[in-house]
Structure 1
Amino acid sequence: MPEQSPFELAEGDPFGPHNLPYGVFSTIDAPDQHRIGVRYGAHVLDLSALPSALPAAIHPHAELLTAPTLNPLLAAGRPVWQQIRAAVHTAVTDPAHRDEVAPLLHPLEEVTLHLPFEVADYVDFYSSEYHATNVGRIFRPNDAGLPPNWKHLPIGYHGRSGTVVATGTPVVRPNGQRKAPADEAPTFGPSARLDIEAEVGFVVGTPSTLHEPVGLSSFRDHVFGVCLVNDWSARDVQAWEYVPLGPFLGKSFATSVSAWITPLDALDEARTPPPARDVPPLPYLDDSGVEPGGFDIRMEVRINDEVVSRPPFASMYWTAAQQLAHMTVNGASLRTGDLFASGTVSGPDPDQLGCLLELTQGKGPYLQDGDEVTLTAWAPGPGGARIELGEVTGRILPAPAVGTP
């Protein structure tokens, strides 16, 4: 039986020509040479070699595609993103180019995937009304679930970009201070309440100018694409430290992202209006007259291969465009490689909660050493096709021993 051509995909393959996410890979024979690639089915198309194979279509952008990270491509701006995406689409779908393109396709099992871009700044939001209400009731059972500012602005915090890691990177259980309500004083040691947060991240390409806010209508001009994010959280460390300034060491030890960045243009069919809002937003957040800002992304959370939740991203109260507008409204500038994440995605049903804190009502159990967590997601594409986002996986390793100084 002849070997199946890498160009012939199974019907409904979620990584077909309607998707074409970008990543960075290396091969066995050149492990230190990081190259930009696009996933097509079960293969990676080596974009660094594509200008030589199809010079007329993509040669003007050859320098962008030979970089070891996506950052130069991210900085090039939306017209270039669209030109390259169109050229890649032609490369994998036009039979006239198959002889030139076939040698550039590497089987996924023969490559190593890497963090696809250098992360500049990292911001994490808190934009699911269901998640925020559930967490508020767990932490403050005698108060209203939502803080008074929640429906007026997308709440967020600045995280640690240096500990954003690619899927597959082990997550070492963090040490830190913990203090239970009944304890007289804090203790120090491994987190006993290690948790996940299933989120969607947005990768900034085109930077902005200091002191010039980015409006809602400029979202597509600055955001290159989308990836899944697991914002690992040490709940016991977080509970003790977060008053009054918010998350710090309980979050900064690791944030896992997908190895594949799905271009924003691939998700046009997944655009959806956000939920109805009962508090009118201020003008800079009022999205009633712009492109629908929500995305119909259906997520799945598995722990040790058991499905524990299916959070619906379409239920998010604040959209990514509103998050970007709020993030820059004070004049803060964007940098190429900025990553901002949605916050935990949770829905109204018990099987739609995006973290163990909610799934167990704060009682646990939380993650044990050796547990492996995997996030996957898909969105509707053109003609009934599925767009699959790259998965995010991480296995928990024991905390390191800490001696006394």
Structure 2
Amino acid sequence: MKKIYLDYNASTPVAPEVADAMLPLLTYFYGNPSALHWAGGPVKELLQQARQQVADLISCSPSEIIFTSGGSEANNLALKGYFYKNRQRGNHIITSKIEHPAILNPCKFLEQMGAKVTYVSVDRYGSVSPEEVEKSITKETILITIMHSNNEVGTMQPVKEIGEIAERHGIAFHSDASQSVGKVHIDVNELKVDMLTIAGHKLYAPKGIGALYVKRGTELEPLIHGAGHENGLRAGTENVLLATGLGKACEIANIRMNTQQVKELTDYFWTQLKKEYGDKVVLNGHMEKRLPNTLNVSFVNRVGQDILSSIPNLAASTGSACHSGSIELSPVLKEMKVPEHVGMGAIRISLGSDTTIDEINQVLHWLKEVI
């Protein structure tokens, strides 16, 4: 029986064009991009091209793109790097309670280093209130970090409004856009962000590569000290192989971001579920202000993991954490005040650019057999 992959928010396959772009770096282009001889020059050009491709996707200068090993490192560089470099100006950071662990755990670490962190709440749709963010600002606030979209329920945050608040108060603003880049249009200038995180394996590039947009003039302390690679912010010979993959993936997203097509399939999935199960199925997150590919639904009085375990040929996920045989409600749904008898039945379906209506219909059939 055909296996169906609907877990694109967890990771995407490497696009064929991306693999093709990387192949020459496994064979012919092997020089160090810092070398001044014939072997280094072409590799340096490929690195510059990749930086330009990433920059073009989010409308910034290539000099403002810092390549990292992924979204987690980019988030750590943004938070720790900014705090260490600017702690003489203050020690207060504002974030939300539903951030990815790659934000929440660095914040907890920085609290041990003397930072004070305010974790703002979200409403029942998983949305942060710009007003609450502004009310949390103190004279010691130096950084605000709010995700662009939630990886679990897909809710897109009012990043532009929060960016305007941060700009008005002279506070640096970072947004983790790992789940958004490549799925929706992002312009760092419109969003008023000073830093923005990109994760390669969320947009058809390989795992192990990401980037941090750092607005010109934003000062960070590097996490890795050494030679002056990546504008002095990340020492170590650049991974041109993976950077080339990320660059190509960004170029593809810039040319053909099929947001509407994916949204129509996602909406169709939800319509069919609602038609079949009525009040026994609940949408988690915002109906409109969410990623076009993401559908987080709860089957009331059921356990999402049990449903998925009964459909071994479906790759999807649930936000519930399993520990020693027990299942706990997802922290994100808990913060959204989703009742336990609803939240325990949550399943996240995330579509990709190659998802077909036949696959959606097959999954609907499998769900009906199990439920």
TM bucket by the smaller chain? under 0.3
Structure that is richer in helix per residue: 2
1 or 2, which has the higher strand percentage? 1
TM-score (structure 2 length as normaliser) = 0.26
Instruction: Output the TM-score relative to the length of structure 1.
Output: 0.24
